[in-house]
Homo-oligomer: A and B are copies of this chain.
Amino acid sequence: VTSFADRLDEAVARAGTPALVGLDPHLAHLPAPYARAADGSLPRAERARLVGDFCLEVLELVAGRVAAVKPQSAFFEQLGADGVAAWERVVTAARERGLLVIGDLKRGDVSSSAAAYAAAYLEDHPGGARACDAITVNPYLGSDSVAPFLELCRREGRGLYVLVRTSNPGGAELQAVGVPPLSERVAALVVRWGAELVGRSGLSSVGAVVGATHPGELARLRAAMPRTPLLLPGYGAQGAGARDVVGGFLPGGRGALVNSSRGLLFAWRASALGEARWREALLEALERMRGELREALER
């Protein structure tokens, strides 16, 4: 099997951009007619269908323009089993359109549970839902909690993104504590976990999540993890710009994905185009993001 890292590296080169589209279907922000998903008086299955339909429209818009999408599980789980059925529909549709899928699940558990999570999200379901190409995981429980995921990375060509330094305000409370800071200890584990999963591209299939909202730490963490694909959240709605993410890249604009979720999906809310033209607003925001990243990386 071709490694996740190699597939991603090729897909980014083909798309011509490291932009990653975060699929965070906030019920309260969806445009009409999908906004009805927020209506608690509708049957839950109907609400979940609207969430899935919205995401499928987004996939249609962005396919061919980006290498990968990142659905956020919380917004699907919010609608229970119906929401998870919508999640499966979205993952399968994205893969059928040739998009890589990074499931934003942030799972982390003792090894027997981790093995079940790995089977849930990194293996195709018999006769049904497709697996994600990669998922995000939480490192707090240490090596044996990550081992079952690594096993599937090896066997099925899947990938992981380990939370190292998150983009949210509270991220520093634990991650920036200590000498060296906890995030650097996690980075060392990420390098070790990924050492046997380096592909022909020179990149490992074990990546790291590092918020673009901390450019200094980003540069240090990039240096500490020279073969690790990074997933950089925080661009756009969370305040980081194209110049803030540059330090996360390897030469040639390789080795990192820059995520934007709300800034793309709900671009119409900050645009003169208005709700009915949310598709144009999304594409305009995506073109702007692609351009800004290209310019920043060419300097």
Contact = CB atoms under 8 A, between A and B. Distances in A.
Interface in A91-146: 104, 106-114, 116-117, 119-121, 125-129, 138-146
B126 A44 contact: yes
A78 interface: yes
Q: Which 8 A-B pairs have the closest CB atoms?
A: A142-B170, A142-B173, A74-B116, A81-B85, A74-B113, A144-B170, A81-B84, A143-B170
A36 interface: no
A41 B112 CA distance: 22
A202 interface: no
6 contacts: A24-B112, A43-B127, A141-B163, A141-B170, A142-B170, A143-B173
A114 to B, nearest CB: 7
A140 B140 contact: yes
Interface stretch (A8-16, A152-160, A178-186, A290-298): A178-186
Contacts of A174: 139-140, 142, 182, 185-186, 189
Which among A26, A75, A117, A173 has the greatest number of chain B C-beta atoms within 10 A?
A173
B114 A74 contact: yes
Contacts of A167: 110
A275 interface: no
A226 to B, nearest CB: 22
Given A84-B84, A146-B170, 4 more contacts: A44-B126, A74-B116, A142-B175, A174-B185
A284 interface: no
A274 interface: no
A23 to B, nearest CB: 12
A189 B173 contact: yes
A234 B80 CA distance: 30
A141 B189 contact: no
A88 B81 CA distance: 8
A145 to B, nearest CB: 6
Looking at A24, A110, A166, A171, the one whose CB has the most chain B CB atoms below 10 A away is A110
Contact of A80 (B128, B170, B189): B128
A126 B82 CA distance: 13
A77 interface: yes
A168 interface: yes
Given A80-B84, A106-B109, A113-B72, A172 B142 contact: yes
